[in-house]
Amino acid sequence: MAQGKLKLKSKAPARVTKKQKNTAKAAAPRVYKARTVQAKHAEKLTKIQSGQLVSSTEKLIASRVGHLELIKGSRREIERKDKEAKKKMAAKK
């Protein structure tokens, strides 16, 4: 009988699959869309009302705290206003 420790070869590393590489990424939560007409309408109203709530809250906070900026209009509208202002300044000079 052998008296010492067995000399075992270390195994070569196994092949790493894509699933093993991406273990940290979790699956996105499932979104169940409304199917009935009533449910679709309710979902649409909820979306509209939540947007209105955000804008009204932003206005309320900005009115109480003067240094906060409100986002007025889309990016294109803001850029258009800036261009018009630059043209007016150039015309005055």
Q: DSSP letter at 72? A: -
In a domain, 39, yes or no: yes
Average pLDDT of the residues in 49-73: 77
Return the half-sphere exposure (C-beta side, CA atoms, 13 A cut-off) of residue 63: 6
Whether 54 is covered by a domain: the verdict is: yes
At 67-86, the pLDDT tens digits run 556 556 667 777 888 899 99
Q: Which two tokens stand for residue 81?
A: 């206003």
Instruction: Please state the domain count of the chain.
Output: 1
Nearest to 70 by CA among 80, 62, 60: 62
Q: Is residue 49 part of a domain?
A: yes
**Which residues form the domain of 57?**
35-68
**What is the per-residue pLDDT across 6-53, written as a single tens digit (0 to 9) for each?**
777 777 777 877 777 766 667 788 888 889 999 999 999 999 999 899
| Residues across the chain | 93
Torsion, Cα of 75, 73, 46, 62 (10° steps):
110
- CB atoms inside a 10 Å sphere around CB 62: 13
